[in-house]
Amino acid sequence: MKLQIKNLYKSYQKKEVLKDVNIELNSGEVLAVVGRNGSGKTTLLQSIVGIINVNSGEILLDDINILKNNSLRNEIMYIPDRFDYFKFSKIKKVIEYYKIIYNNFDEKMFLLELKKNKISENKKISQLSKGETMLVAILLGLSSNVKFLLFDEPLDGIDIININLILDYILDAQEKGVGIIISSHQLSHIEKISNKIYFLGDFQAESSTEEVNKEDYVKYQIVYENVEEQQLMNDKDVLVLNHIGRVYTVIVKDSATFEEKLLETKPVQYDKLIATIEEIFIFKNREEEK
């Protein structure tokens, strides 16, 4: 199954929040949505499931517009950063709600995973820690057997043990063919599970949103014979991530052009490295500020 977002636009009065958002996600893919605070990540996820009405654009499941076909919305679940819908309900009561909404809800699986994590179904959501609450929300999503799961900051304020557990569950969903969109400021963690990146920019700076291919960005570690300032490092298309003595660590987008210029500066040695999502995010934000 394929989820497509086409030319999505959302504004509040005169403030543009989403502009020309175009995303394509297949079953079994994990898309990381990254952007600064206020860039529209939560608005995007809530728009996909219909919590927020958009001004224009299409959201399609296998070429069928779900904005005009509400039954298809049951194939997508949104898991917010604060699972407050059932705050004062016991987990066993929440199960009943989900069984009504999602016809394929696997109660047996949910209770089994709940037991593995030593969480009682007789507890109220308000009695759980933040990590436990997010685990319950994710287990509800997995047990609902939907085609796409949307996670909004699932790792925020959670300890490393629960972070790893949540990432494992997300990977389990991916292996079962679930398409996943995840927004998070924990870029080093979502690096481990995502195979696509979508960057939400600052529309006030007249930038556009875009899907980012990690392979388009290359990190270099460069060693020079002396510590004299290299003019190449002041190039507008080069971002210096680190500079210690004779060693520069930089990230660039056009690696072919950069290497031509680099060889002219006669480095002692240079190595290509893999750029992280966090480094790409820093590079993209530098572009936004130009």
Residue 244, exposed/middle/buried by CB under 10 A (0-12, 13-18, 19+)?
exposed
Residue 101 has a pLDDT of 87
Looking at the fold, whether 113 and 11 belong to one and the same domain comes out as yes
Residue 284 has a pLDDT of 78
Asked if residue 206 has pLDDT above 70, the reply is: no
Span between the terminal Cα atoms of the chain, in Å: 39
Looking at the fold, whether 236 and 102 belong to one and the same domain comes out as no
Residue 207 has a pLDDT of 42
**In which band, very low, low, confident or very high, does the pLDDT at 205 lie, cut at 50, 70 and 90?**
very low
Residue 15 has a pLDDT of 83
Of 185 and 41, which is predicted with more confidence? 41
The string of pLDDT tens digits covering residues 230-281 is 778 888 888 899 888 889 999 998 888 899 989 988 899 999 988 888 888 8
Asked if residue 227 has pLDDT above 90, the reply is: no
Looking at the fold, whether 132 and 194 belong to one and the same domain comes out as yes
Q: Take residue 157 and report the two structure tokens written for it.
A: 């304020």
Residue 210 has a pLDDT of 62
Distance from C-alpha of 21 to C-alpha of 199, rounded to nearest angstrom: 10
Strand 179-183 relative to strand 218-223: parallel, antiparallel, unpaired?
unpaired
Residue 249 has a pLDDT of 93
Looking at the fold, whether 160 and 228 belong to one and the same domain comes out as no
**In which band, very low, low, confident or very high, does the pLDDT at 289 lie, cut at 50, 70 and 90?**
low
Three-class SS state of 20: strand
Residue 209 has a pLDDT of 59
Looking at the fold, whether 76 and 149 belong to one and the same domain comes out as yes
- CATH number for the domain spanning 189: value is 3.40.50.300
Residue 204 has a pLDDT of 40
The string of pLDDT tens digits covering residues 69-124 is 777 878 899 998 888 788 899 999 999 999 998 888 999 999 999 999 999 999 99
Could you list the residue range(s) of the whole structural domain that residue 268 is in?
Answer: 218-274
Taking alpha carbons only, the member of 198, 176, 196, 191 closest to residue 1 is 176
Looking at the fold, whether 23 and 104 belong to one and the same domain comes out as yes
The string of pLDDT tens digits covering residues 127-181 is 999 889 999 999 999 999 999 999 999 988 888 888 899 999 999 999 999 999 9
Taking alpha carbons only, the member of 284, 149, 206, 209 closest to residue 8 is 209
